[in-house]
C-alpha cells in the first residue's frame, strides 16, 4: 500500500470546487451573485454588524488507522487557534511588518464545539467514523456516510469540519457560501489540523483551518486566482494586488504587480505561505466575512446565539 506523505507546500481545493459549482449549478450562480450584491451594499452603507458572533462547530473525524483517529486534544487545539486567529490575539501577530499593522482586523468571531446534536442530545461536538478508504480528495466523498465518510449535520446550524487523510498533496478545501447544504463546510487533512498529535511541519499551527474557514466565510485567495496576471481581485480593497501565490517563508518585502515598496501581504491567512508565516486578516477581509455572516450565514449565527454551541468558546 502506497504511503501518503504529509504535504510540504500549501494546496487548497476551494477554488476548483467553486468553479465546478459555478459551471454545474444555476442555484449556486444565483446565490453567489446575490451574496456579492448584498456584500457591496452592506459595506457601502457601513452596515456590517459589529457584535461578537459565536459559531457552533462539529468536527467529523473520519479515520482508517489509529493515527488518523486524532485525539480530542488535537481537535481542541484547533478550536483554540481559530479563536486566536479570528480575534487577532495570536501570539505571532506582532511579526506583521509595521507598514501593515494598521490593516489588521478583528473578525469578532468565536468558535466553540457544539454542545447539542441535531436530535437535541448533549454532544462533545466531535464525531468519529471508521472508514475503509485509504484516502480522500476534493470530490466530497468524505461528506457522505454512503461514500466512506459521514453525513453533514444541518449546515444552517453547524459549521461542519471533516478531518481525514487527504491525498494528492491537498491540505484542505472549503465550500463557499451558496452551495448545497449537504456538502457545506470545510475539509482538512489530519496532518494539518490543530497544533499537536499528528500535525506536521510546516502546517502544524492550525492555519489551514483558518484559511479554509476564511473561504467558508466568503474570502477569496489574496492574489485573486489569476495566476501571475496581476488582473485578478479578492474583492477586498486593503489587500495589495499581487502576482500569484506566495509559498514557504517569504522575506519582507516581496514585490510583485507594481506594489512596491511594501509588496505582497504574504503574511495574510488567505495566501499560501507556511503556517508560521501567516498571521493576519485585514479589516477589509473582516468586513467581507461579517457581511457573509449577516446574510448567507445568518442562520448559523442565530444557532450560535440560541444554545447549539452554548459552551464557552475555548480561547
Quick check: 120 and 157 in contact, CB under 8 A?
no
CA distances from residue 70 to 58, 128, 153, 275 in whole angstroms, order as listed: 14, 9, 20, 20
Active site residue 212: yes
Q: Check 17, 43, 68, 212 and give the catalytic one.
A: 212
Q: Give the DSSP per-residue string, 56-108.
A: EEEEEEEESSTTTS--HHHHHHHHHHHHHHTTT--GGGGGS-GGGGGGB----
Quick check: 172 and 12 in contact, CB under 8 A?
yes
Residues whose CB is less than 8 angstroms from the CB of residue 75 and which lie 6 or more positions away in sequence, other chains included: 59, 61, 113, 126, 163, 193, 194
Dihedrals phi, psi of 77, to nearest 5 degrees: -65, -35
Number of H helices, E strands in the chain: 6, 8
Name the residues annotated as catalytic: 212
Amino acid at each position: 500500500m502506497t504511503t501518503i506523505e504529509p504535504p510540504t507546500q500549501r494546496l487548497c481545493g476551494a477554488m476548483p470546487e467553486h468553479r465546478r459549482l459555478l459551471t454545474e449549478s444555476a442555484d449556486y450562480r444565483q446565490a453567489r451573485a446575490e451574496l456579492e450584491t448584498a456584500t457591496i451594499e452592506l459595506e457601502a452603507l457601513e452596515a456590517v454588524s459589529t457584535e461578537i458572533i459565536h459559531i457552533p462547530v462539529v468536527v467529523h473525524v473520519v479515520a482508517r488507522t489509529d493515527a488518523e483517529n486524532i485525539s480530542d486534544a488535537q481537535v481542541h487545539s484547533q478550536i483554540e487557534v481559530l479563536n486566536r486567529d479570528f480575534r487577532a490575539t495570536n501570539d505571532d501577530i506582532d511579526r506583521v511588518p509595521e507598514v501593515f499593522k494598521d490593516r489588521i482586523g478583528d473578525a469578532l468571531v468565536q468558535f466553540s464545539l457544539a454542545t447539542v446534536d441535531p436530535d437535541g442530545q448533549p454532544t462533545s461536538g466531535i464525531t468519529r467514523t471508521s472508514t475503509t478508504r485509504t484516502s480522500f480528495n476534493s470530490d466530497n466523498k468524505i461528506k457522505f456516510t454512503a461514500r466512506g465518510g459521514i453525513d453533514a449535520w444541518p449546515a444552517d446550524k453547524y459549521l461542519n469540519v471533516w478531518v481525514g487523510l487527504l491525498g494528492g498533496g491537498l491540505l484542505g478545501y472549503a465550500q463557499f457560501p451558496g452551495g448545497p447544504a449537504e456538502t457545506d463546510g470545510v475539509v482538512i487533512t489530519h496532518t494539518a489540523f490543530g497544533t499537536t498529535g499528528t500535525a506536521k511541519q510546516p502546517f502544524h499551527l492550525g492555519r489551514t483551518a483558518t484559511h479554509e474557514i476564511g473561504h467558508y466565510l466568503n474570502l477569496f485567495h489574496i492574489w485573486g486566482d489569476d495566476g501571475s496576471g496581476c488582473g485578478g481581485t479578492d474583492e477586498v480593497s486593503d489587500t495589495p494586488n499581487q502576482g500569484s501565490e506566495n509559498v514557504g517563508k517569504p522575506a519582507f518585502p516581496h514585490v510583485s504587480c507594481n506594489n512596491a515598496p511594501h509588496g505582497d501581504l504574504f503574511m495574510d491567512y488567505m495566501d499560501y505561505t507556511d503556517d508560521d508565516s501567516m498571521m493576519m486578516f485585514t479589516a477589509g477581509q473582516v468586513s467581507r466575512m461579517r457581511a457573509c455572516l449577516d446574510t448567507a450565514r445568518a442562520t448559523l449565527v442565530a444557532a450560535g446565539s440560541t444554545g447549539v454551541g452554548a459552551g464557552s468558546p475555548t480561547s
